[in-house]
């Protein structure tokens, strides 16, 4: 009986630790265009998770699209878009829900 209790405790502990280790994540994606509605390739897209001061970034593809996966759910996030010859775009207070795939499109000028 004692071994059964120990085994049960071990299995329960394993599952509890596994559940805590799982981090809730979300995806942020979108399309970046110019004033003529043409996609911009190579725009730098950076998000900062404000509470932890951590950054993630990417560049837009040929079609002007970007995607940042496995972002920590919650927030707030600060998004920065930069591209030579255009005004830098900032968006703050972005919140992401667990499992969310949030779309944010922008026009740069």
Confidence label for 3 from pLDDT (cuts 50, 70 and 90):
low
Number of helices followed by number of strands (H, E) in the chain: 1, 8
pLDDT at residue 15, as a whole number: 53
Is the torsion defined by CA of 37, 40, 44, 48 positive or negative? positive
Per-residue pLDDT of 12-69, as tens digits, reads 455 544 444 457 999 999 999 999 999 999 999 999 999 999 999 999 999 999 999 9
Residue the block writes with tokens 């951590």: 54
Show me where the domains of the chain are located: 25-107
Q: Report CA torsion sign: 55, 57, 92, 70.
A: negative
Structure tokens at 54: 């951590």
CATH class of 25-107: mainly beta
C-beta of residue 68 within 8 angstroms of C-beta of residue 28: yes
pLDDT value, residue 20: 44
What are the CA-CA distances from residue 19 to residues 7, 8, 72, 73, 109 (Å)?
Answer: 19, 17, 16, 15, 45
Whether the CB-CB separation of 29 and 105 falls below 8 Å is answered with no
């Amino acid at each position: 009986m004692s071994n059964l209790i120990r085994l049960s405790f071990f299995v329960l502990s394993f599952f509890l630790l596994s559940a805590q280790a799982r981090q809730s994540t979300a995806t942020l994606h979108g399309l970046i265009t110019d004033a003529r509605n043409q996609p911009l390739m190579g725009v730098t897209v950076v998000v900062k998770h404000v509470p932890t001061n951590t950054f993630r970034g990417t560049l837009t593809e040929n079609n002007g699209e970007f995607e940042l996966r496995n972002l920590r759910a919650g927030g707030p996030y600060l998004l920065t878009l930069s591209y030579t010859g255009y005004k830098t775009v900032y968006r703050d207070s972005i919140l992401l829900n667990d499992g969310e795939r949030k779309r944010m499109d922008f026009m740069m000028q």
